[in-house]
């Protein structure tokens, strides 16, 4: 029996999404093999040992939906502290055998917590320090993909609001934080006058901002699982949004059931094969491990651009990554087992 620390919440803007994923993992984890220990990180960064039956369900739909979060109680008895030797509650070592950091965004998916696990010599699910950091920061990931012959969307990086657009960038553009996620701070900009406000908005999430050409495209995502020395590369799935959405924004991602995942994506066979091979190339180029979701644009001109790699993709049973794995014949519980056994 392995003690598995399922770590969720965190200080990033994706706190709530992480809780939803962790709640599902706790329910589905094979309890004949693993003993789950639930650790929630509050929005202010304090670590809490939580009952495994904590309810992390989403309630309501649409913009009125209430998302779960790790409560910041005054109760000190469940406070987790850590030092060089690991994690403790009331001075007692939690004796974690493996960590599953179901954390998205900065301080969870960006190599920082992975560095902490390295200090503890603790095995953990997913990409190591460097790959996590590179994939988190789109301004670093894109040149790596490009160097491996994978096309990226033309764009520039800025840390200030005064930008001079190069001649190859034409409206509409996308403005987004370099280290963001869940589409928070991502804005489609149609005119010059919208540019500065969009940069200011994106900078709420990261001082460093990407300005990219808006691509008219089908969004296609591919899941990779690395287990038992093998790679499982899913069929590309197509993100089909309800007409009211101009792009795959936060609401379309989480607050609405209308997104339809079409597997395999309705694009030519040759493009599907190409995307699978590019997904694996990107995974290896960024030195990813365990799991990743690799997102592409298939443009209306038939070009394939990589958009980003998510090293800890959304992980509820209805999230894209587990659905793509399900299509590849690996069900949710089995997927968790494979990730934990490596």
Question: Of residues 163-222, which lie at the interface with ligand ADP (CB under 6 A)?
Answer: 174, 176, 180-183, 186, 212-215, 219
Nearest to 93 by CA among 101, 79, 82: 82
Are 44 and 85 a contacting pair, CB within 8 Å? no
Site string for ligand ADP, 231-260 (x = CB under 6 A): ----------------xx------------
Say how far apart CA 296 and CA 153 lie, in whole Å: 10
In the bound state with ligand ADP, the residue whose beta carbon lies nearer, of 34 and 315, is 315
**Shortest separation between residue 138's beta carbon and ligand ADP, angstroms:** 6
Region of 228 on the Ramachandran plot (φ > 0 left; ψ -120 to 50 alpha; else beta)? left
Residues 6+ away with beta carbon under 8 Å from 328: 223, 225, 232, 233, 234, 235
Count CB neighbours of 85 within 10 A.
9
In the bound state with ligand ADP, the residue whose beta carbon lies nearer, of 16 and 212, is 212
- Using CB atoms within 10 Å of the CB of residue 311, give its burial: 0 to 12 exposed, 13 to 18 middle, 19+ buried: buried
In the bound state with ligand ADP, the residue whose beta carbon lies nearer, of 242 and 341, is 242
**Shortest separation between residue 324's beta carbon and ligand ADP, angstroms:** 16
Question: Of residues 293-312, which lie at the interface with ligand ADP (CB under 6 A)?
Answer: 295, 307-308
Q: Is 106 in the site for ligand ADP (CB under 6 A)?
A: no
Residues 6+ away with beta carbon under 8 Å from 10: 18, 41, 43, 45, 103, 104, 105, 107, 108
**Shortest separation between residue 300's beta carbon and ligand ADP, angstroms:** 11
**Shortest separation between residue 174's beta carbon and ligand ADP, angstroms:** 4
**Shortest separation between residue 186's beta carbon and ligand ADP, angstroms:** 4
By the criterion CB under 6 A, which residues form the site for ligand ADP? Answer: 153, 174, 176, 180-183, 186, 212-215, 219, 247-248, 295, 307-308
């Amino acid at each position: 029996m392995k003690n598995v620390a399922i770590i969720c919440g965190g200080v990033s803007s994706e706190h709530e999404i992480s809780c939803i994923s962790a709640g599902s993992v706790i329910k589905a984890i094979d309890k004949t093999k693993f003993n789950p220990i639930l650790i929630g990180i509050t929005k202010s960064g304090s670590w809490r040992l939580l009952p495994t039956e904590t309810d992390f369900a989403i309630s309501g739909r649409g913009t009125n939906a209430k998302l779960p979060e790790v409560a910041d109680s005054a109760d000190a008895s469940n406070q987790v502290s850590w030092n060089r030797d690991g994690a403790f509650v009331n001075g007692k070592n939690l004796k974690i055998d493996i960590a599953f950091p179901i954390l998205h965004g900065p301080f969870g998916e960006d190599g920082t917590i992975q560095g902490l696990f390295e200090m503890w010599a603790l095995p953990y699910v997913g990409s190591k320090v460097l790959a996590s950091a590179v994939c988190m920061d789109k301004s670093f990931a894109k040149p790596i993909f490009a160097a491996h012959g994978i096309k990226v969307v033309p764009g520039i990086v800025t840390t200030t609001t005064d930008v001079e657009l190069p001649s190859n960038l034409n409206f509409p553009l996308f403005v987004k934080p370099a280290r963001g996620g869940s589409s928070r701070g991502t804005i489609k900009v149609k005119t010059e006058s919208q540019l500065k406000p969009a940069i200011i908005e994106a900078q709420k999430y990261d001082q460093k901002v990407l300005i990219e050409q808006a691509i008219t495209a089908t969004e296609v995502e591919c899941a990779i699982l690395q287990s038992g020395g093998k790679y499982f590369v899913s069929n590309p799935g197509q993100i089909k949004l309800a007409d009211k959405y101009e792009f795959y924004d936060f609401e379309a991602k989480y607050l609405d059931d209308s997104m339809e995942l079409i597997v395999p994506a309705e694009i030519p066979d040759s493009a599907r094969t190409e995307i699978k091979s590019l997904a694996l190339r990107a995974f290896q180029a960024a030195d990813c491990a365990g799991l990743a979701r690799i997102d592409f644009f298939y443009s209306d001109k038939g070009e394939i651009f990589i958009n980003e790699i998510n090293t800890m993709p959304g992980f509820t049973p209805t999230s894209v990554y587990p659905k793509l794995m399900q299509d590849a014949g690996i069900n949710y519980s089995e997927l968790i087992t494979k990730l934990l056994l490596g």
